[in-house]
Structure 1
Amino acid sequence: MPDSARQSCPPMRPMVEETYGPADLSAKAIFAGGFINFGYWRAVDLDAPLGEADRIRSQEDLYRRVLDLAGPLEEVKVLEVGCGLGMGCALALREYAPAAVTGMDIHPQQLQRARSAHADLLMREQGRLRFAQGAAERMPFPDGEFDAVVSVEAAQHFPDLAAFAAETARVLRPGGRVAVASFFTVDDAPGRPGQLAGLLDTYANGLDIARPVTAITEAFTTAGLTKVRAEPIGRHVWPGWDLWLSRQWAVGTWPRSFLRAYEQRILDYYLIVAS
């Protein structure tokens, strides 16, 4: 792909543009702390009353799971695809001692918010933290720029997983690793998109795209990545997420149907790793 093509972002899908732009999902109370993910609740006591600190820990722990799988990260260059407000980038700098972290997002408003939220950190860590606009399918970086690529709960929005995989393979140095956390259907049964659209507004309106987990594992393999594996972690995501949602949403409302889709073996949450 010529360099000029990599420099321009493809157009955003309308619901992605709205949700992460004017609607500012990160400002919603359910995403306390600025992270935009469902959380990894394994270390949280779900039998005790949940507070904001528990919620933020669940989100941080999801990042830690992904960063651990992409590691070791000491003195290496890390790229986050779909960085949102950059909270994961800041956590990586704080806890993993990388040489540098780049947060990439397709949405210019998200990048503005990230630069504002981390203005002091950007000043202190000049050369170690940066934010860049780019799409998962067209990354504005040279070949072999990074030692590790991570993406946390963004791949469900990517319109072209094959292009994402190819770009990931391109920007990774030989021996580099990629770790992705996102939710996918458990199989490629043809009725899955319709089932999810009937249960969840985010699939009905096109924000999330219904695809089997094999779509991303096969894309990584086709792109030349090796040691590709997918680990289901739904038991540590969906019950805690549903319990947190119960503070604001009643049983039977569409946000509570993520757990229902998991229990019906339609949807699960996965960690996908490749080298």
Structure 2
Amino acid sequence: MTQQPPPAAPAEPPDGPAPPDLPERVARVYGADDLSTVAAFAGGFINFGYWTGLPGPADRQLTEADRVRSEEDLYRLVLGTFGRARGRTALDVGCGRGLGCALALRESGLGTVIGLDAHPDQIARARKANADLLAAPADTAGRLEFVLGAAQRIPLPDDCVDCLFSVEAAQHFRDLPGFAREAARVLRPDGRLALTTFFARSREAARALPELLPPFADGLDVPHVVDEVAAALSAAGLREVRVRSIGDGVWESYDRYMAQQPELRDDEWPRRYLTAYETGLLDYYLLTAAAG
């Protein structure tokens, strides 16, 4: 996700150069700045959230618990596309603090969940945040592990995972065709992919987004076009590529939550995402595919 401190990165992060494969802005936001500590990301997840399953009247005051639930529900939406996942192996590309990996292991009955992230600080945080699960016997809790690596060069063998998912990370990928090829490579023949994040609706929209949203201007996010993402998955050999807009369950409620929190309501530019959605520039999507 892109809710972060205002864009003002120095030429080099204070704790050293950017890790390999990471632009300096991405390295800083997920390294020294630790985006998971920003108030908008209650609970340490880093996504806009999927808000449709929240209880109570639609116009009630949204709480921090609602925010955490929305972030978890985005993972649940993605994991639900895999059907029966019990005992299978899953890979989370762009796992961040690994909280989605832990949720997947707890709730989906997966046998193994591997969290992959390109930033070493995120891998370290994931291992710390999930120390109990990492230490638990595999026969009682399933197996969880975290691996450092880039989406376009996944450090795993061919045909090794049944389910591959990525939640609000692909907007950072500089080489989406490379990621698509790697996804097709590591998935087993009957494997499934599920990818969710925000993409531009058209090439014209992609050109306009940097003027409205700083993360597209400062190098944090890439304005990928949704149809081009789907085409990259197909070109990599994945089948049954489907695109579903889920923006009606994301943008308005996220903006309402921001407006209702005293410490967040005056943070003006993150609330431009609703404007971008309403003016047809971007949307939030769920893409699914099957291994070839």
**Within the alignment, does 1:146 sit opposite 2:161 as a pair?**
yes
Q: Which runs of 5 or more structure 1 residues have no equivalent in the other structure?
A: 1-8
Which of 40, 47, 70 is the matching residue for 1:30? 40
Contact 1:229–1:274 (CA under 8 A) maintained in structure 2: yes
Other-structure match for 1:166: 181
**Within the alignment, does 1:42 sit opposite 2:55 as a pair?**
no
Q: What are the superposed Cα offsets for residues 140-175 of structure 1, whole Å, 9 maximum, x if unpaired?
A: 000001001000000000001100000000000001
Q: In the alignment, residue 49 of structure 1 is paired with which amino acid?
A: Q
Q: In the alignment, residue 275 of structure 2 is paired with which amino acid?
A: R
**Within the alignment, does 1:13 sit opposite 2:23 as a pair?**
yes
Contact 2:21–2:150 (CA under 8 A) maintained in structure 1: no
Return closer, same or farther for 1:94/1:32 CA change in 2, 3 Å cut-off. Answer: same
Q: In the alignment, residue 178 of structure 2 is paired with which amino acid?
A: A
How far residue 249 of structure 1 moved from its aligned partner, in angstroms, is 3.9
| Percent of aligned pairs with the same amino acid | 49
Residue 227 of structure 1 aligns to a residue whose secondary structure is strand
How far residue 10 of structure 1 moved from its aligned partner, in angstroms, is 4.2
Q: In the alignment, residue 34 of structure 2 is paired with which amino acid?
A: D
Other-structure match for 1:225: 238
Separation in structure 2 between the aligned mates of residue 155 and residue 33 of structure 1, nearest angstrom: 21
State the TM-score, normalizing by the size of structure 2: 0.88
Q: What are the superposed Cα offsets for residues 210-265 of structure 1, whole Å, 9 maximum, x if unpaired?
A: 12101211011000000001100001000111112222344782111000000001
Other-structure match for 1:109: 121
Which structure 2 residues correspond to residues 236-251 of structure 1 after superposition, within 5 A? 236-246=249-259, 247=261, 248-250=263-265
Q: In the alignment, residue 72 of structure 1 is paired with which amino acid?
A: R
Q: What are the superposed Cα offsets for residues 11-41 of structure 1, whole Å, 9 maximum, x if unpaired?
A: 2111110110000000111101111110000
Which structure 2 residues correspond to residues 160-239 of structure 1 after superposition, within 5 A? 160-189=175-204, 192-239=205-252
CA RMSD of aligned residues (A): 1.4
Q: In the alignment, residue 216 of structure 2 is paired with which amino acid?
A: Y
Other-structure match for 1:4: none
Residue 87 of structure 2 aligns to a residue whose secondary structure is coil
Q: What are the superposed Cα offsets for residues 27-83 of structure 1, whole Å, 9 maximum, x if unpaired?
A: 111101111110000022541111111001101110000001133211100000000
Other-structure match for 1:69: 81
Other-structure match for 1:273: 288
Residue 228 of structure 2 aligns to a residue whose secondary structure is helix
Contact 1:105–1:134 (CA under 8 A) maintained in structure 2: yes
Separation in structure 1 between the aligned mates of residue 149 and residue 267 of structure 2, nearest angstrom: 37
Q: In the alignment, residue 148 of structure 2 is paired with which amino acid?
A: Q
Residue 199 of structure 2 aligns to a residue whose secondary structure is strand
Q: In the alignment, residue 129 of structure 1 is paired with which amino acid?
A: L
**Within the alignment, does 1:260 sit opposite 2:275 as a pair?**
yes
How far residue 194 of structure 1 moved from its aligned partner, in angstroms, is 3.7
State the TM-score, normalizing by the size of structure 1: 0.93
Deviation above 6 Å: which 4+ runs of structure 1? none
Contact 2:206–2:225 (CA under 8 A) maintained in structure 1: no
Aligned length: 265
Separation in structure 1 between the aligned mates of residue 168 and residue 34 of structure 2, nearest angstrom: 16
